[in-house]
Amino acid sequence: MSSYIDLKYINNLSSRLKQFKKKTDYLYNFRCPHCGDSKKSKLKARAYFYRVKNDMFFKCHNCGMGQTLANFLKFVDDNVYSQYLLERYKGGTPATQKPKFDFKPTQFKDPTLLDDLKKISDLNEDHPARLYCIKRKIPKEYFDILYLSDKFGELVNKVKPNTYNTKTDHPRLIIPFFDTTGKLFAFQGRAFGKEQPKYVTIKLDEGKQKIYGLERVNFSKQINIVEGPIDSLFVDNCLAAAGADLFLKKSINKDYITYIFDNEPRNKEIIDRMYKVIEQDYKIVIWPDDIQLKDVNDLIMSGISKSEVMNIISKNTYSKLSALTKLSYWKKV
């Protein structure tokens, strides 16, 4: 309930915050009124409102400022702040009892990394990188969270010096990983051509798991987990595990989580991971035998709609004993 009030106040603030944009239902981006944001560019916006449980918080990735929505309102406008406290806590928690939240110090002062790249949405209609995204049927709404790096080696070397020999550099599609506060913590480069490996994931923060989609997912709804970041763009409320074992925090109910592995019944490594997930009592999709395509994106590219894919997923979700039985018939090794 409280987030409804929070969102109402955020909406009322929108005209007073520069470059204000709603990114998802619970993530808003704008220029930071504390530090004034970038002096060089009036377009850069590094401040966010984001959600933790039922509350909205403020965080600036430029100056590092983090605070509750209440304290942010107090900073912007005392009258609005008093009104908010009344509405938010009337009959409930007394206004003096401020929500507790420990912000971790900013470990990496980043966003300039993406600022140097071009968003797919900013490329000409006939640019090869944009055409690549269209060919893979990636919904246009995601074109502003996908980027092009003309020189991938150079980009990686900025974060991890001397990783690549930049004499033989090549372009890649850049898929940024943001945390729940909208902060960049890793990125994946997908080759356009035959360059190997096809996917390279670079972490800016070694302490974080490679989970893609955290800034968009609603943790109070059913969460789907696929392997590939691009696949996750076609599935409702979806995270991608980027090729690793991904287990979410114990506080999330296992009934809320469905794992969707690639359709590779001959891949020993994937099958081992499927068993692990079933043993931990998560739900899992076992693809029906008549589907030969390897992953969600292949299904979409073959002409199956997103809603049909969701339908296939829900019809083929299993857990516990039925999952074990299905898996033993499905696997080919």
* Site residues, Zn ion (CB under 5 A): 32, 34-35, 60, 62-63
Question: Residue for token digits 């469905």?
Answer: 258
In the complex, minimum distance from the CB of residue 63 to Zn ion, in angstroms, rounded to a whole number: 3
Q: Closer CB to Zn ion, residue 30 or residue 152?
A: 30
In the complex, minimum distance from the CB of residue 65 to Zn ion, in angstroms, rounded to a whole number: 5
Q: 171 is written with which tokens?
A: 């372009």
* Whole-angstrom distance, CA of residue 155 vs CA of residue 219: 32
Coil vs helix vs strand at 240: strand
Q: Closer CB to Zn ion, residue 61 or residue 130?
A: 61
Q: Closer CB to Zn ion, residue 76 or residue 200?
A: 76
Q: Closer CB to Zn ion, residue 58 or residue 212?
A: 58
* Whole-angstrom distance, CA of residue 330 vs CA of residue 264: 10
In the complex, minimum distance from the CB of residue 198 to Zn ion, in angstroms, rounded to a whole number: 37
Q: Is 292 exposed, middle or buried (0-12, 13-18, 19+ CB in 10 A)?
A: exposed
* Whole-angstrom distance, CA of residue 259 vs CA of residue 245: 11
Q: Closer CB to Zn ion, residue 60 or residue 138?
A: 60
Coil vs helix vs strand at 326: helix
User: 10 Å Cβ neighbour count for 25?
Assistant: 11
Query: Cβ neighbours of residue 230 under 8 Å, at least 6 residues apart?
Result: 136, 138, 175, 190, 297
In the complex, minimum distance from the CB of residue 71 to Zn ion, in angstroms, rounded to a whole number: 14
In the complex, minimum distance from the CB of residue 109 to Zn ion, in angstroms, rounded to a whole number: 11
Q: Closer CB to Zn ion, residue 63 or residue 324?
A: 63
**Torsion angle of the four alpha carbons 12, 18, 22, 28, in this order, in degrees rounded to the nearest 10:** -90
In the complex, minimum distance from the CB of residue 30 to Zn ion, in angstroms, rounded to a whole number: 10
Number of continuous H segments (helices) and E segments (strands) in the chain:
11, 15
Give the full edge-to-edge strand order of the sheet including 47-52. Answer: 21-24, 27-30, 47-52, 55-60, 66-68
Residue closest to 72 by CA, chosen among 97, 47, 92, 89? 47
Q: Closer CB to Zn ion, residue 178 or residue 287?
A: 178
DSSP state of 52: E
In the complex, minimum distance from the CB of residue 70 to Zn ion, in angstroms, rounded to a whole number: 18
In the complex, minimum distance from the CB of residue 208 to Zn ion, in angstroms, rounded to a whole number: 22
Residue closest to 210 by CA, chosen among 242, 245, 250? 242
Q: Closer CB to Zn ion, residue 32 or residue 323?
A: 32
